[in-house]
Chain A
Amino acid sequence: MAPHQVRRPFKRAAISDQQKRRELALLRQQQSRRDSQHQARSSILSLQPEPEPEPEPRDFDVARASKLKGAEAREWFSRQLTLPEWMIDIPPRLNQDWYVFARPSGKRCFVVSSDGTTVSRLRNGYVLHHFPSALPNGARTKDVSGPSHSFCLLDCIFHELDQTYYVIDMVCWRGYSLYDCTAEFRFFWLSSKLAETGACDTPSLYHRYRFSVVPIYSCDLTGLHTAYAGNVPYVKDGLLFYNKHAHYQTGNTPLALVWKDESCSQYVLDTDSKGQVPAQQQVVLELQDDGKLTTSDDPPVVFGCLEKELFQKFDLLSGSLLRFAIGEGGMRFLDGNVEMADLHYLGKVNRGRAFSDNTSKVCWFILYISCSL
Chain B
Amino acid sequence: MAMEVTQVLLNAQSVDGTIRKQAEESLRQFQEQNLPSFLLSISGELANEEKAVDSRRLAGLVLKNALDAKEQSTKFELVQRWLSLDMNVKIQIRAYLLQTLSSHVLDARSTASQVIAKVAGIELPHKQWPELIGSLLSNSHQLPAHVKQATLETLGYLCEEVSSDVVDQDQVNKILTAVVQGMSSTEVNNDVRLAATRALYNALGFAQANFTNDMERDYIMRVVCEATLSPELKIRQAAFECLVSISASYYEKLAPYIQDIFNITAKAVREDEEPVALQAIEFWSSICDEEIDILEDFVGEFSGDSEVPCFYFIKQALPALVPMLLETLLKQEEDQDLDEGAWNLAMAGGTCLGLVAQTVGDDIIPLVLPFIEENISKPDWRQREAATYAFGSILEGPSPDKLISIVNVALDFMLSALMQDPNNHVKDTTAWTLGRVFEFLHGSTLQTPVITPANCQRIISVLIQSMKDAPNVAEKSCGALYFLAQGYEDSGSSSPLTPFFQDIVQALLVVTHREDAGESRLRTAAYEALNEVVRSSRDDTAPMVMQLVPLIMMELHKTFEVQKLSSEEREKQAELQGLLCGCLQVFIQKLGAFEQTKYVFTQYADQMMGLFLRVFACRSATVHEEAMLAIGALAYATGVDFAKYMPEFFKYLEMGLQNFEEYQVCAITVGVVGDICRALEEKVLPYCDGIMTQLLKDLSSDRLHRSVKPPIFSCFGDIALAIGENFEKYLMYAMPMLQSAAELSAHTPGFDEEMTDYTNLLRDGILEAYSGILQGFKSTAKAPLLMPFAPHILQFLDSLYQEKDMDDAVTKTAVGLLGDLADTLGSHAGPLIQLSVSSREFLNECLSSDDHLIKESAEWARLAITQAVSG
When the two chains form their complex, are residues B153 and A4 in contact, meaning their CB atoms are under 8 A apart?
A: no
**A35-43, A82-90, A91-99 - interface stretch:** A35-43
- Number of residues in B with C-beta < 8 Å to the partner? 87
* Binary contact readout A26-42 vs B (1 if CB under 8 angstroms, 0 otherwise): 10110011001100110
A-B contact pairs, 21 of them (CB 8 A): A1-B199, A1-B201, A13-B479, A22-B664, A25-B633, A28-B589, A29-B674, A32-B636, A33-B717, A36-B678, A36-B721, A41-B775, A41-B819, A46-B823, A47-B823, A142-B538, A148-B595, A149-B595, A192-B855, A196-B852, A206-B492
Known: A3-B238, A10-B347, A32-B636. A46 touches B721 (CB 8 A): no
When the two chains form their complex, are residues B864 and A44 in contact, meaning their CB atoms are under 8 A apart?
A: yes
Q: Does A273 contact B (CB under 8 A)?
A: no
When the two chains form their complex, are residues A140 and B852 in contact, meaning their CB atoms are under 8 A apart?
A: no
When the two chains form their complex, are residues A1 and B153 in contact, meaning their CB atoms are under 8 A apart?
A: yes
Contacts A6-B285, A10-B350, A41-B860 known; 15 new A-B pairs at CB < 8 A? A8-B351, A17-B482, A17-B532, A26-B671, A40-B778, A49-B871, A116-B539, A116-B595, A141-B493, A142-B489, A147-B593, A148-B594, A185-B863, A188-B860, A192-B856
The 7 residue pairs across chains A and B that have the minimum distance between CB atoms: A17-B528, A40-B775, A46-B779, A140-B493, A1-B198, A7-B343, A148-B593
A149 to B595, CA, bound (A): 7
* Binary contact readout A119-144 vs B (1 if CB under 8 angstroms, 0 otherwise): 00000000000001000000111100
* Binary contact readout B183-222 vs A (1 if CB under 8 angstroms, 0 otherwise): 0000000000000001101100000000000000000000
Determine which of A18, A142, A148 lies in contact with B598 in the assembled complex, contact meaning CB atoms within 8 Å: A148
Q: Does A297 contact B (CB under 8 A)?
A: no
When the two chains form their complex, are residues B823 and A6 in contact, meaning their CB atoms are under 8 A apart?
A: no
When the two chains form their complex, are residues B863 and A184 in contact, meaning their CB atoms are under 8 A apart?
A: yes
**B166-174, B275-283, B548-556 - interface stretch:** B275-283
Question: Which of A3, A24, A48, A142: most chain B Cβ within 10 A?
Answer: A142
Q: Does A11 contact B (CB under 8 A)?
A: yes
Q: Whole-angstrom distance from the CB of B542 to the nearest CB of chain A? A: 11
Known: A1-B153, A25-B633. A141 touches B492 (CB 8 A): yes
Q: Does A274 contact B (CB under 8 A)?
A: no
Question: Which of B202, B343, B776: most chain A Cβ within 10 A?
Answer: B343
- Give chain B interface residues in 849-871, CB to chain A under 8 Å: 852, 855-856, 859-860, 863-864, 867-868, 871
Q: Whole-angstrom distance from the CB of A21 to the nearest CB of chain B? A: 6
Residues of B within 8 A of A279 (CB): none
When the two chains form their complex, are residues A21 and B153 in contact, meaning their CB atoms are under 8 A apart?
A: no
Question: Which of A5, A11, A49, A51: most chain B Cβ within 10 A?
Answer: A11
When the two chains form their complex, are residues A47 and B531 in contact, meaning their CB atoms are under 8 A apart?
A: no
Q: Does A59 contact B (CB under 8 A)?
A: no
Residues of B within 8 A of A33 (CB): 674, 678, 714, 717-718, 768
Residues of A within 8 A of B595 (CB): 115-116, 148-149
When the two chains form their complex, are residues B778 and A46 in contact, meaning their CB atoms are under 8 A apart?
A: yes
Residues of B within 8 A of A22 (CB): 629, 664, 668
Q: Does B612 contact A (CB under 8 A)?
A: no
Q: Whole-angstrom distance from the CB of A340 to the nearest CB of chain B? A: 46
Q: Does B816 contact A (CB under 8 A)?
A: yes
Known: A6-B279, A18-B582, A21-B585. A142 touches B823 (CB 8 A): no
When the two chains form their complex, are residues A4 and B775 in contact, meaning their CB atoms are under 8 A apart?
A: no
Q: Whole-angstrom distance from the CB of A351 to the nearest CB of chain B? A: 33
* Binary contact readout B378-419 vs A (1 if CB under 8 angstroms, 0 otherwise): 000000000000000000000000000000000000000000
Residues of B within 8 A of A10 (CB): 342-343, 347, 350-351
Q: Does A205 contact B (CB under 8 A)?
A: yes
- Give chain B interface residues in 576-613, CB to chain A under 8 Å: 578, 582, 585-586, 589, 592-595, 598
Q: What is the interface residue range for chain A against chain B?
A: 35 or more
A36 to B772, CA, bound (A): 9
When the two chains form their complex, are residues B347 and A44 in contact, meaning their CB atoms are under 8 A apart?
A: no
Chain B residues at the A interface, C-beta cutoff of 8 Å: 153, 156-157, 160, 198-199, 201-202, 234, 237-238, 241, 244, 275, 278-279, 282, 285, 342-343, 347-348, 350-351, 428-429, 432, 439, 476, 479, 482, 489-490, 492-493, 528, 531-532, 538-539, 578, 582, 585-586, 589, 592-595, 598, 626, 629, 632-633, 636, 664, 668, 671, 674-675, 678, 714, 717-718, 721, 768, 771-772, 775-776, 778-779, 816, 819-820, 823, 826, 852, 855-856, 859-860, 863-864, 867-868, 871
Question: Which of A139, A148, A192: most chain B Cβ within 10 A?
Answer: A148
A132 to B494, CA, bound (A): 14
A18 to B816, CA, bound (A): 33
Known: A10-B343, A25-B668, A33-B718. A44 touches B867 (CB 8 A): yes
Q: Whole-angstrom distance from the CB of B186 to the nearest CB of chain A? A: 22
Determine which of B278, B489, B490, B823 lies in contact with A44 in the assembled complex, contact meaning CB atoms within 8 Å: B823
Residues of A within 8 A of B772 (CB): 37
Using CB atoms, name the residue of chain A closest to B820: A41
When the two chains form their complex, are residues A192 and B859 in contact, meaning their CB atoms are under 8 A apart?
A: yes
Residues of A within 8 A of B343 (CB): 5, 7, 10
Residues of B within 8 A of A49 (CB): 871
A4 to B632, CA, bound (A): 41
A37 to B476, CA, bound (A): 44
Known: A13-B479, A37-B775, A37-B816. A47 touches B826 (CB 8 A): yes
When the two chains form their complex, are residues A141 and B490 in contact, meaning their CB atoms are under 8 A apart?
A: yes
Using CB atoms, name the residue of chain B closest to A18: B582
Using CB atoms, name the residue of chain B closest to A139: B493
Residues of B within 8 A of A37 (CB): 721, 771-772, 775, 816
When the two chains form their complex, are residues B863 and A192 in contact, meaning their CB atoms are under 8 A apart?
A: no
A117 to B820, CA, bound (A): 35
A140 to B482, CA, bound (A): 23
A42 to B275, CA, bound (A): 63
When the two chains form their complex, are residues A3 and B275 in contact, meaning their CB atoms are under 8 A apart?
A: yes
Residues of A within 8 A of B714 (CB): 33
When the two chains form their complex, are residues B157 and A1 in contact, meaning their CB atoms are under 8 A apart?
A: yes
A46 to B674, CA, bound (A): 25
Residues of B within 8 A of A147 (CB): 593
When the two chains form their complex, are residues A6 and B244 in contact, meaning their CB atoms are under 8 A apart?
A: yes
Residues of B within 8 A of A5 (CB): 343
When the two chains form their complex, are residues A32 and B675 in contact, meaning their CB atoms are under 8 A apart?
A: yes
Using CB atoms, name the residue of chain A closest to B431: A11
Q: Whole-angstrom distance from the CB of A29 to the nearest CB of chain B? A: 5
Using CB atoms, name the residue of chain A closest to B194: A1
When the two chains form their complex, are residues B278 and A17 in contact, meaning their CB atoms are under 8 A apart?
A: no
* Binary contact readout A289-329 vs B (1 if CB under 8 angstroms, 0 otherwise): 00000000000000000000000000000000000000000
Determine which of B156, B582, B668, B771 lies in contact with A17 in the assembled complex, contact meaning CB atoms within 8 Å: B582
Using CB atoms, name the residue of chain B closest to A12: B479
A22 to B628, CA, bound (A): 11
Q: Whole-angstrom distance from the CB of B295 to the nearest CB of chain A? A: 18
